[in-house]
Amino acid sequence: MSFLLADWRDRATHRRVWALAAPMILSNISVPLVALVDSTVIGHLPHAHQLGAVAVGSSLYIYLAWMMGFLRMGTTGFAAQAAGRNDGTALRQILLQGLLLGLGLSLFLAAIAMPFSGVALSVMQPSAELHDMTLAFFYNRLFGLPASLASYALVGWFLGAQNARAPLAILLTTNLMNIALNLWFVLGLDWGVVGSARASVIAEWCGALLGLWLTRGALRAYPGKMAWAALRVWQNWKPLLGVNRDIFIRSLLLQSVFFAITVQGARLGDATVAANALLLNGLLLTAHALDGLAHAVEALCGHAIGARDRTALRRSMVVACGWSLLASALFALLFVFGGHLFVQMQTDIPSVRETAFQYLPYLAVLPLIAVWSYLLDGLFIGATRALEMRNAMLVSVVIAFPVAWALHGYGNHGLWISFLLFMVLRSLILGLYALRIQWFAP
């Protein structure tokens, strides 16, 4: 234990962690702020199905887009290790590969989006008003998909290159513009739910274009050349695609869990699906703040592994772990004492408020449970050990699903209990994998 205390006291590691984490926390917080503004603006329109449409439509879009999160996570690990080797040529190749994958996948997702939304809504069985408004929101939102996936690859690449300022610029530009346009389109121009979707699309394209422009300066820090011929060699794609395949499966399973919450909530009524969306905004706020520290772990641990520096790896984990635990405790206290205000800020619809109040205790417990999976995800992403992430997610879902099925008779309480169990399992299984791995084995 004494060496852990010595690691925690290493001021240089604290500086390195916060040099990456602080900009990412600031930029990440802007992501849930967009969801909060969406909920607040739409939540003060007169009908629950309007708020429900944004919740369900966003879930459909997020299910498609966020399961492509491997574009960020896979890119970060490889870019961090290339930066650790000071390999500018590899960094350029990883950047272009990430962008090309994002373009191809956005075209694929656009092709399956319409049949996917039809099947999903038929399973949810929403009211007619909720159904029609959800589709209007979702179809407009799809125009931002190529920009969204490009931003994933860009943010991941910048983080791996030890550059936290560019992701800060990309995410703040995207999300602050989204907030401003949301207020203008929904309240000023009275475009309603569709206005919220259009605001997101314009903001995503502006953020992606800014990210592309910023790569010029970042590449100057790592001299090298673009080996265009290497892109035509399948062998050069296999490591990235192999890691991305496993992260894709992991992300697909994770988004399926969140999507199941929306599906079951919709089946329980418009007020329930809207209330769950408000509470999940609290989880989104927590996750994105804590992810700032996880992103620091990705970059620093990936760099340490690339440089084969075991001491730096351990110190980065100890320092990030300590700060993550403190932050999660603060979020838990925030939801214990300010949970009612958090819900009231987002909507004045009485039925939605009353429903959300019943489930606030689950939200208060979540930060303390979920923090460990975020931190360990950062370690595995930096190490490009996606297989363990995939397997941990698969085992968690396989165990939690029968429990959720058994508890479905308990309504929304059963849904939240199952979700808490799932988050506990994620943390425990990832922790067991982390203890078993020899991080610098050849």
Tell which residue, 204, 142, 151, 152, has the closest CA to residue 177.
204
Cβ atoms of 147 and 208 within 8 Å: the answer is yes
pLDDT on residue 137: 84
Tell which residue, 361, 339, 337, 247, has the closest CA to residue 285.
339
Q: Residues in the chain with pLDDT < 70?
A: 1-4, 27-52, 125-126, 227, 229-236, 239-243, 438-442
Task: Kindly state the tokens that stand for 277.
Answer: 């969306």
Distance CA 149, CA 373 (A): 23
Four-point Cα dihedral 199, 205, 207, 213, nearest 10: -160
Distance CA 22, CA 295 (A): 10
Cβ atoms of 382 and 305 within 8 Å: the answer is yes
Supply angle C-alpha 148, 44, 131, rounded to 5: 60
Task: Kindly state the tokens that stand for 100.
Answer: 């090309």
Assign 3-state DSSP to the chain and report helix, strand, coil percentages, each to 5.
Answer: 90, 0, 10
Distance CA 132, CA 282 (A): 27
Q: How far is CA 270 from the centre of its chain?
A: 25
End-to-end CA distance of the chain: 28
pLDDT on residue 442: 43
pLDDT on residue 202: 93
Residue-range domain boundaries for the chain:
2-436
pLDDT on residue 335: 94
pLDDT on residue 81: 77
Coil/strand/helix, residue 224: coil
Tell which residue, 267, 280, 244, has the closest CA to residue 423.
280
pLDDT on residue 49: 62
